Amino acid sequence: KFNQVDIMALNASLQIRNVLKSSANKSILEIGAGSGTTPYWCNRLGLGPIQIVDLPHVAVLQAFYLLKVLPDAIVFAAASR
């Protein structure tokens, strides 16, 4: 079942894939990734590695979400002072 956030994230991921189609390097840096649905869809589309930069408390939630939906992916959250 898809909701509006999933549709918007999938659309963004398809656009990113289109931009990167001629590039050998498919790595992505997302600043302010919200819930993490766009990185999820980028991963599902074969893009990556993906690095997310966000506020520490949001990064923890993103890591939790991504660990749940991508159990085989390497996910970690790091905070700095």
DSSP string for 10-44: HHHHHHHHHHHTT-S---EEEES-TTSHHHHHHHH
pLDDT value of position 1: 79
User: Would you call 64 helix, strand, or coil by DSSP?
Assistant: helix
Question: Residue 6 is inside which H or E element, if any?
Answer: helix 4-20
- What's the whole-model pTM score? 0.87
**What's the average pLDDT block by block, 10 residues per block, for the chain (81 residues)?**
92 97 93 94 94 91 94 80 60
Percent of residues, the chain, with pLDDT higher than 70: 96
